Amino acid sequence: MLKDRTARSSRRRQACSVGGETQARIAGDGCDTGGVGLNELELRVSKEIARREGELVELVSTLVNFNTVTHVAGAPARDEAALQEFVAARLRARGAQVSVEEPDDALLAGHPYVTEGFSFAGRPQLVGRYPGAGGGRTLLLNGHVDVVDVEPREAWSTDPFDAVVRDGRIWGRGSCDMKGGVACMVFAAEILAELGVRLAGDVIVNTVTEEESTGAGGVVSARTLRADGAVVPEPSGLAVWVACRGSLLPTIVVEGRAGHAGIAPRHPDEGGAVNAIEKAAYLIDAMRRLREEWSLRPRHPYLSPADVVPTVITGGEWIVSHPAECRVNCHLHYLPGQADEQGWGSRVAAEFEEWLGRVAAADNWLREHPPRLEWPTDGVPPAEVGADEPIVQALLAALTDLGRAGRLGGLDNWHDGATLVVEAGIPAVCFGPGEIHEAHTANESVPVADLVACAQGIAVATIRFCGVA
């Protein structure tokens, strides 16, 4: 199966020329990388990555061709194990110490990300280590290999698991989120090893499953790996993301009183029907006003304000009856500054409950029948690292010296790096190819030029962060 995938990627590459623009720019006369800040070793590594652009394209395409649609309860494993073994074989061939294992479920005991009965069966995690000579920092390169579902499949112009290269981009599920980024970090580590770059600190290449569904893969990494910094190559548009929002998933349960919808109403105080959907709409409007309140607070430099969005509403028992109950599922995003002392969302949850409670108290029915809030999980935490962290400075300086603007930013959603920050205290940033708006879309794609630039940025930053022996 692997041989077929690789051959298929090669045929695609031959049929659809990537073009040599990146190679000409980086590997041409004088190496137009902005250049003056790169030393001889960094220049050689950058040129080698550009020269082997086709290999990087092939690696991304092969990863895309594995069907690794994320785990949902009751679904069998797909190609996760095969993909991890493919990456492991590459890393071993280039001198890494590699393990591919299904973690002990006890590592997740009691963690809010996962529900009872969760298992990694068929979805192993990979850890590859290039040991340093000693005395340097350890860098963790972490990326997830699971992808979201491809439905509606008819919206795709090509097979989402048969990568296509055209117009300077790679098309297919996961090309942007985030197999393109995974390929960049793997390729950067491989090039450093092949060129015999002896680093002082260790480089850990860590590919995980269970990011798109549970976040359990990142928990295992946080609880088993130690590093002085981490790069998670989610699609950041080649910016360095130092912050992300956390999220909660509350459900508001609104009580009504059933009654015939086709007869004249009586007053609720006289036993008349109360429409739970209408009362829910009253609370939804209250959430809109809470969003407005949050938007007026001091702005975060890299993140949008806190937000709460009603995402699913269910209610009613019969087509000619006033509904006796309505449930509103919500997605609540909050900022690092709103987190509690442990880095989680208890403070913002309390604020949300208090806000709805005050609004409910102003309504005669809801005052006597207050809405109930359910919190199925603790959600996921926000995270932020300082711009003065060594990994941030290494990436920004590398980008500048490669001729690109070193830009700071943040992700309004969440990523595994937040788990590394909150659970393990590892300063983790996002830096990856492609734009986040491509993620989870039909006809997802990533620019080839971004892939080369990302791999170069990771490689140069690794040299500077870990140090040369």
Mean pLDDT on 181-203: 98
Alpha carbon distance 190, 185 (integer Å): 9
Shared-domain flag, residues 282 and 350: yes
Run of H or E including 286: helix 276-295
The alpha carbon dihedral of 435, 440, 442, 447 has a sign of positive
CATH classification of the domain holding 196? 3.40.630.10
Neighbours of 51 (CB within 10 A): 15
Residue-level pLDDT at 398: 97
Domain boundary among 327, 345, 374: 374
Shared-domain flag, residues 88 and 54: yes
Shared-domain flag, residues 92 and 36: yes
pLDDT of 32 higher than 50: no
pLDDT tens, 309-362?
Answer: 999 999 999 999 999 999 999 999 999 999 999 999 999 999 999 999 999 999
Shared-domain flag, residues 122 and 27: yes
Residue-level pLDDT at 36: 61
Shared-domain flag, residues 229 and 259: no
Share of the chain above pLDDT 90, in %: 85
Q: At 25, is the pLDDT very low, low, confident or very high (cuts 50, 70, 90)?
A: very low
Tokens (6 digits) for 301? 């430099």
pLDDT tens, 206-231?
Answer: 999 999 988 999 999 999 999 999 99
- What string of H, E and C letters represents the secondary structure of 309-373? EEEEEEECCCCCEECCEEEEEEEEEECHHHCCCCCCCHHHHHHHHHHHHHHHHCCHHHHHCCCEE
Highest mean pLDDT among 7-11, 265-269, 356-360: 356-360
pLDDT tens, 396-422?
Answer: 999 999 999 999 999 999 999 999 999
CA-wise closest residue to 216 among 129, 300, 104, 100? 104
Shared-domain flag, residues 448 and 342: no
pLDDT tens, 117-149?
Answer: 888 999 999 999 999 999 999 999 999 999 999
Q: Taking the CA atoms of the chain, what radius of gyration do you get in angstroms?
A: 25
Q: Give Cα separations from 108 to 99, 104, 157, 247, 248 (angstroms).
A: 19, 8, 40, 20, 19
Residue-level pLDDT at 35: 54
CATH classification of the domain holding 345? 3.30.70.360
Tokens 């298929």 sit on residue: 8
**Which range of residues forms the domain containing residue 290?**
246-374
